[in-house]
């Protein structure tokens, strides 16, 4: 049986993820449409912007950690999401280059693959909430 706390945290994580994904995609699409930046660079910039946004909201709202270990939490969060970014970029590039999927759709697929690992990694490794 799944605990109420776990359900609440996952719902909050999903809301924060939606916000961060929106930030990520707005930046990604703007860079793709209005600059000459390569789609992998655009994805990285969008991802990092969403990462910083997500860290602060997840720390303070999803997992309710308001102690002074900000630097420690952020380093763990950064490591977790660096792995996530690597997986995201691999899937994005694989779909675009091998299957000629549009960059925007491939980014949706790549992002969707990392949701559960990001939640459980944040919960168990970063914030231990």
Q: Does pLDDT of 129 surpass 70?
A: no
What pLDDT band is residue 99 in, cutting at 50, 70 and 90? very high
Kindly tell me if the per-residue pLDDT of 66 is higher than 70. Answer: no
User: Quick one: which of 15, 24, 31, 49 has its CA closest to 108?
Assistant: 24
Query: For the chain, where are the alpha helices, taking DSSP H only?
Result: 4-34, 39-57, 70-99, 103-112, 115-121
Q: Report pLDDT digits (tens) over 20-58.
A: 999 999 999 999 999 999 999 999 999 999 999 999 899
User: Is the pLDDT reported for residue 89 higher than 90?
Assistant: yes
Measured CA to CA, the distance from residue 36 to residue 49 in angstroms comes to 19
The pTM for the full model equals 0.82
pLDDT of 115 > 90? The answer is no
Spatial CA neighbour of 104 closest among 51, 33, 34: 33
Summarize pLDDT for 4-17 with one digit per residue, the tens: 988 999 999 999 99
For the chain, give every domain's residue range: 4-126
């Amino acid at each position: 049986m799944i605990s109420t706390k776990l359900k609440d945290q996952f719902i909050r994580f999903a809301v924060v993820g939606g916000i961060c994904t929106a930030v990520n995609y707005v930046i990604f699409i703007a860079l793709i449409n209005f600059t000459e930046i390569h789609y992998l660079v655009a994805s990285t910039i969008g991802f990092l912007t969403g990462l910083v946004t997500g860290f602060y909201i997840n720390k303070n709202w999803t997992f309710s950690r308001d102690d002074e270990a900000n630097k420690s939490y952020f380093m763990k969060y950064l490591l977790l999401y660096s792995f996530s970014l690597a997986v995201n970029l691999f899937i994005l590039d694989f779909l675009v280059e091998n299957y000629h999927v549009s960059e925007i759709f491939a980014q949706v697929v790549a992002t969707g693959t990392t949701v559960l690992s990001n939640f459980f990694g944040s919960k168990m490794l970063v914030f231990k909430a």
